[in-house]
Amino acid sequence: MTGVQERKIRSWWNRFVRRYDAADAEVRLNTRLKESHTLRVCRETLGLGRALGMSPDDLRLAGILALLHDVGRFEQYARYRTFADVKSENHALLSLAILRREGVLQKLSPRTQSIIRRAIRYHNRAELPAVRDRRLLLFARLLRDADKLDIWRLALAYYAAPPGRKNHAISIGLPDLPGVTPEVLEDLREERIVASKNIRSLTDLKLLQMGWVFDVNFVPTLRVMVRRGYLEKMRNVLPADDAARGAHAIVRAYVDRRLAGSPESKECPAHPRLM
Ligand SMILES: [Fe+2]
- CATH number for position 62: 1.10.3210
Q: How far is the CA of 37 from the centre of ligand 1 (A)?
A: 10
Structure confidence by residue, pLDDT tens digits, 46-77: 999 999 999 999 999 999 999 999 999 999 99
Q: How far is the CA of 115 from the centre of ligand 1 (A)?
A: 16
* pLDDT over threshold 90, residue 169: no
Do both 12 and 85 map to the same domain?
yes
CB 35 within 8 A of CB 20: no
Structure confidence by residue, pLDDT tens digits, 20-30: 987 788 888 89
Measured between alpha carbons, how far is 182 from 103 in angstroms, rounded to an integer? 47
Supply angle C-alpha 42, 275, 40, rounded to 5: 10
Do both 139 and 235 map to the same domain?
no
Measured between alpha carbons, how far is 79 from 159 in angstroms, rounded to an integer? 26
Which domain-ending residue is among 97, 125, 145?
145
CB count within 10 Å of CB 231 equals 18
Residue 157 included in any domain: no
Q: How far is the CA of 242 from the centre of ligand 1 (A)?
A: 33
Residue 154 included in any domain: no
Q: How far is the CA of 69 from the centre of ligand 1 (A)?
A: 6
Q: How far is the CA of 94 from the centre of ligand 1 (A)?
A: 10
Residue 187 included in any domain: yes
Do both 37 and 135 map to the same domain?
yes
Q: Give pLDDT, residue 164.
A: 65
Do both 120 and 245 map to the same domain?
no
Q: How far is the CA of 255 from the centre of ligand 1 (A)?
A: 24
Q: Give pLDDT, residue 264.
A: 43
Supply angle C-alpha 50, 51, 54, rounded to 5: 45
Q: How far is the CA of 82 from the centre of ligand 1 (A)?
A: 13
Highest mean pLDDT pick, 170-179, 195-204, 260-269: 195-204
Structure confidence by residue, pLDDT tens digits, 220-275: 999 999 999 999 999 998 888 888 889 999 999 999 999 998 544 454 444 433 33
Measured between alpha carbons, how far is 156 from 201 in angstroms, rounded to an integer? 16
Q: How far is the CA of 83 from the centre of ligand 1 (A)?
A: 9
* pLDDT over threshold 60, residue 103: yes
**Mean pLDDT taken over the chain:** 90
* Overall average pLDDT of the 27-55 stretch: 95
Residue 265 included in any domain: yes
Do both 200 and 259 map to the same domain?
yes
Statement: the pTM of the whole predicted model exceeds 0.95? no
Q: How far is the CA of 140 from the centre of ligand 1 (A)?
A: 12
Do both 35 and 134 map to the same domain?
yes
Residue 158 included in any domain: no
Q: How far is the CA of 184 from the centre of ligand 1 (A)?
A: 23
Highest mean pLDDT pick, 17-31, 137-151, 163-177: 137-151
Do both 34 and 133 map to the same domain?
yes
* Residues spanned by the domain of 244: 174-274
* Overall average pLDDT of the 79-104 stretch: 95
Q: How far is the CA of 243 from the centre of ligand 1 (A)?
A: 30
Q: How far is the CA of 241 from the centre of ligand 1 (A)?
A: 32
Q: How far is the CA of 262 from the centre of ligand 1 (A)?
A: 31
Q: How far is the CA of 158 from the centre of ligand 1 (A)?
A: 17
- Of 234, 121, 247, nearest to 194 by C-alpha is 247
Q: Give pLDDT, residue 265.
A: 45
Do both 206 and 138 map to the same domain?
no
Q: How far is the CA of 92 from the centre of ligand 1 (A)?
A: 6
- Among 14-18, 82-86, 167-171, 211-215, which stretch is predicted with the lowest mean pLDDT? 167-171
Residue 104 included in any domain: yes
CB 246 within 8 A of CB 180: no
- Of 274, 269, 275, nearest to 131 by C-alpha is 269
Residue 167 included in any domain: no
* Overall average pLDDT of the 104-126 stretch: 96
Q: Give pLDDT, residue 63.
A: 98
Give the side-chain half-sphere CA count within 13 A for 161: 14
Measured between alpha carbons, how far is 200 from 205 in angstroms, rounded to an integer? 8
Residue 151 included in any domain: no
Do both 60 and 186 map to the same domain?
no
Q: What Rg value do the Cα atoms of the chain yield, rounded? A: 19
Q: How far is the CA of 263 from the centre of ligand 1 (A)?
A: 31
Q: Give pLDDT, residue 274.
A: 38
Percent over 70 (pLDDT), the chain: 91
- Of 147, 123, 146, 119, nearest to 133 by C-alpha is 119
- Of 272, 232, 274, 269, nearest to 128 by C-alpha is 269
How many structural domains are present in the chain?
A: 2
Q: What share of the chain is helix, strand, coil (3-state, %, to 5)?
A: 70, 0, 30
Do both 17 and 132 map to the same domain?
yes
Mapped onto helix, strand or coil, the DSSP state of residue 221 is: helix
Q: How far is the CA of 124 from the centre of ligand 1 (A)?
A: 6
Do both 106 and 178 map to the same domain?
no
Q: Which carries the bigger pLDDT value, residue 270 or residue 39?
A: 39
Do both 212 and 139 map to the same domain?
no
